[in-house]
Structure 1
Amino acid sequence: MNDHSTHQKVALITGANKGIGRATADQLATLGMTVLIGARNPQRGEEAATAIRAAGGDAHALTLDVTDQATIDQAASWIEQRFRHLDVLINNAGITGSGQISPQDATDQLPSTVNLDMVRTVFETNVFGVIALTNAMIPLLRRSPAPRIVNVSSGAGSLTIAADPNGPLTALPSSAAYSPSKTALNALTVQYANELRKEGILVNAADPGYVATDINAHNGFLTPAQGATTLVHLATLAADGPTAGFFNAQGPVPW
């Protein structure tokens, strides 16, 4: 266990070169954390890290593709050698499967006609990738005095909200890929939280809201900085904070 007085907090954020991930990195760096920018594209990751350093923060780029075990292993090894521990893991990287279009236009995910390869591809990043990366980072998180895991979910993953015929999602086409992947991520969040609760590792799911990013062709009405606030809150919970929960900026989100 590290001495709290000298312990430098280190946070790894996947998909952190743009959008909500980048905004989260900015905010955690402002709080004094060392932020590790996980990005599939090394150049974009380095550009983000350079910009954060230029603003006075401490940031490093890590080439990381959550569907590529070799990059996961390399990232874990680098963090082990450089810092010996990890305090915060934010599983932010995610794909819709439909490309950069408005959710209203994602009719290619209708359950009755969806291409199964799309479903597999989405789950590979949004679910299996989270398991692979989290499991690689748990040994490092166990060395932190206050380890936190944040899984970036979506209100679209809420079964309660989706099942409401008068709810906010009724205007969207049904989804057999993206929405179920986030529901699965929520379920995983609870299972990790239950396993790790006794070790003081708090694990929660975040709904950042409808944020304008590449993933929805910038149709969202929140800025990335606004969406990042929930992630940052869950990444910096006190020891008596919640675990196995699903939250947005207003509070708990129904499963």
Structure 2
Amino acid sequence: MHVPDGFLDAPTSVATGVVAAAAVGVALRKARTELDDRTAPMAGLVAAFVFAAQMINFPVGAGTSGHLLGGALAAVLVGPWTGVLCISVVLLVQGLFMADGGITALGTNITLMGVVGLGVGWLVFVALRAVLPKTLGSIAPAAAVGALLSVPVAALVFTLLFAVGGQAPVETDKVLAAMVGWHLVIGIGEAVITALVVGSVVAARPDLVHGARGLMAARELEIRKVPA
């Protein structure tokens, strides 16, 4: 979903840049409440995994590409605010050193993948956690559904941005069909990968998973409860 330079007009790029800068600014402050000495290394591992996953690209059309986003995965493992920073750093490195996504479109890419994609994935995860059984086994399925929905929603938002400020000679309905259609398929793959990764970490070290913190606190109370 990396948007190249010149694909959107200047006002649209500036607007998404403002959104991205605001999101990163807030995330820099809020991430302090999510990280500690144990979980901080996890953020680096998540960023590295997302970086590697996003490097597998294939063309969607009109200069854009499709790949895994990793927003829901990052939010569940290290928290939504830390996840925004992870995705933003990945996109910055890719744009500067890999020519993957435009520099002037960096704000657009952060907004789409680090704000919309991650935000949708996290909100869906939280909503499902509220109705699913309060067990560690519910973490991976909830994360998978969040990942599944986050990808096509991000693609839909991109299409809306293109309808407002698109510069490529492509009709909006064709962009919509290509982006949402392909990213529905990508969403399925992202859901599977997210479920596998989150499930593996929950099985090995649930104390390091941000999305399981409430469950871990309740679990510790049960373990330490002394029978009468």
Q: TM-score, normalised by structure 2?
A: 0.31
**TM-score (normalizing by structure 1):** 0.29
Greater helix proportion: 2
**Structure with bigger RCO (C-alpha 8 Å, 6+ apart):** 2
Q: Give 1 or 2 for the bigger CA radius of gyration.
A: 2
Bigger share in strand: 1
